[in-house]
Structure 1
C-alpha cells in the first residue's frame, strides 16, 4: 500500500514537470507593434522592404519628431499607431509646422483607447466613428480574411487617386472634425480614410494600421496607396514612439527559475502528502463584554472619590481678571481694590461685591479641606460677576 502511494506521488510530479516544460517551450505570441522591425502579421516590415526593393527613398525615424530628422529632405512621414512613447505637445506643433511647409503626414490612428495620442487627436479633431460593415468584395478566389472588410474609395484624390477598394479590419471607423477634412473611403456612414489640407501640405488620417500591415498589404489597392506616397519623395516611418523592444531574459536565468519552481512544487506536494492534519474545529468562544450601566456606575464611583483641587480656586479669580482686561481694559497688574473701583465705574458693579467675592475666595483657600460645595458656591459667584462683565 505504501509503495503504491509513493508511485502515485512520483507520477504526479513527473506530469507536472512535463507540463511546465511544455509551457516554457511554447512559442511567444506574435508582436502587435506596427513597426517596420516587426515581421509578424501586424507589423510593417513587408511594406518597408517592398519600398526599399522598389528603389523608393525610405527610412526609419528613430528620434523625436521635433528634432532635425524632419528637416533632412523628408517628404512624407508615417506615424503608425505609436504605443511606446506618447507624442508630446512640442512634437505635435513641430509636425504641424512641417506639414504647413509642404510635408505630408500619414497618421494611422490606434484603435486602442489607452495608446491614443491626445495632442495629435486634438490637432486633427479625431473621434471614434461607427462600426464598419462586413464585405468580401474584390477578394481573390480562395482568399479568406474573416476579420477584415472591403471599403470603397469615394473620392480618388491625392494619394488615393486611381484607387477603388481597400481592405481593412472589421472594426470602427474614425471621424475628423476639421472644417476642411474630406472623407475618401469607407462603408456607408463609417469612414476609414480622411484627407485634410494643412497650409501647403496635407494630412491623411486612417483608422488603424490595417492598410500597412503585412497581412493585408497585397490585398486590393492597399499597396498602390503606398506607391503613390513613395512617388512624391523620401518617405520616413516614425519608429521613435514605438519604444525599445523589451529585453529578453537570458536562457540561463530562465532555466534557473524553472528549476526553483519545480523544487518548490515538489516540496509543496511532499508537505501536503506527509504533513499532519489538523483536528476538528473547536467551538467558538463567546466573549461577554461589560454593559454600559457598569461603566456609568464606575464613573460615578470615581467622581464620588475625587476631591476639589486647590488650584481650581485661584483659576476662578484669574479668569475673571482676564475678562475684565479683555472687555473693560482693566490692567492685570492693578491691585484688587483699584480694579474693583474701575469695575464699578465702567459697568456699575458695586466694588463691595467684587471685594466680598475675593475675600470669600481667600478664606476658602485658607481652609484645610475644600469641599465641593465650597467650590460650587465660589464658581456661582464668579460666574455671576463674569456675566456682568461680558454683558450677558
Structure 2
C-alpha cells in the first residue's frame, strides 16, 4: 500500500510539472492582421477583408443563408438540403480541382445559381456563353503594407459608379463605391473559322459583319415549345471606362453572376454608398437557400471542432503528454523485470466437494441402487451399534433389539431393511422409490438420535 501511495504522488507531481512547463513555455500567437494582398474572404472573418457583416445582415434579415462546408459533390447528391445559390468570394485558399469545377458547372446547368465575387476568378468557372467569352483582368494590385481599413487608400482616384442599365441588380441602387483594385470584365465574341482554305486576310477584314458564327439551328423540341429562348449574351449591369464590373449570363438552366470587386461585399466596403443594397441584389436575387462556400476557404466540416477550439493553446500538448504517461504506465505494469513468481496455491477442496461430486455422478448415471447402498450401509452400522450386535447379525435380530430399546415397530423396521437390501442386490427401482426409502432411513436416525449432529450434541451434554 505504501508503494502505491508513492507511485500516485509521483504521478501527480509529474503532471503538475508538465502543466507548469507548458504554461511557462506557452506563447500566445497574435492573430495576423488582414491584408488586402492576402485577404480572408470567409464569412467567419470579422476583419476588414472578411464577409461576416454581409452574412450576419442576411441572416438577421430573414434570408435563408448557410455556410456550405461540404465539397461540391454534395450539390449533386439526392440527400440533404440543396442551395439555390452558391456564393464564392475572393481567391479561395483551396483552389477548385478539375472534378470540383465540373461538378459545380453541372449543378449550374441543372438550374443552380453561381455567384462569383473576385477580381480574377478561376477561368474554368467562367464557361463561354454561346458565342461569347468572358475574361477578367486587373490593372492595379494591392501591396502588402496597404491598410484595408483605410478608405482613402482603398478608393484613391476612384469615382462612384451608377448602374449601366435598369436590371434587377440595379434595383434601389443609386451609386456604388468600388475599390481602386477592382477587376475589369471583358466580353468578346468568338470569331468564326474560315470555311475556305484559300480565304485571304483582306477579305476577312472587310467582312466584319460576317465574322461571327451563326447560332445553331433550333431543334424540333425547342421549336415545338412556346417558351421564349433566352439570349446567351451576358448582361452588363455596372461598368466603367475600363470594362464591366457586374455581369450575369445563362448557363444551361441556371445562371452565373460575376462581380469583379470583393471590396463591395467585404466588411471594409459594404457600408459605402449603396454597396450593401447591390450585395443583397447580387447574392439574394435568386431567392431560396443561399450557401456561402466555406469549403474552399479552408473551413471544411471534416475538421474536428474541439481540436480547432483548443488550437494554439497548451491544452493539446498536455493531453498528448498525459496519453504518453498513461501508455508508459501500462507498458511498465505489463513488463517483468525479475524472475517470475509462482502463483499462490489455493486449496479449493472442501469436505462437501467429494459428496457433491458423487451425488451428481450417481444422479446423471441413474445409479439409484448405488446411492441407496451408501446411505443404508451407514444406517445399518449405526443400528448395529445401537443394538449392541456385530455387523454379521441378521436383520431380524437387529430389528428386534432396536425395537426393544426404542418405540419403533419391529416389523416396519425389518420390512424397510429388507426393501433396501433387495434394491441393493439388484431389484428394480426408481428415483421416487429410492427417495422414499432414504427419507424413512433418515427418520429412523432422527427418532433414535443417531444423526451426526444430534449424536455430537448428546455426547457433549453427557460430558
Normalising by structure 1, report the TM-score.
Answer: 0.48
Larger Rg: 2
More RCO (CA 8 Å, sep 6+): 2
Query: Which has a greater percent of strand?
Result: 1
TM-score normalised by L of structure 2? 0.41
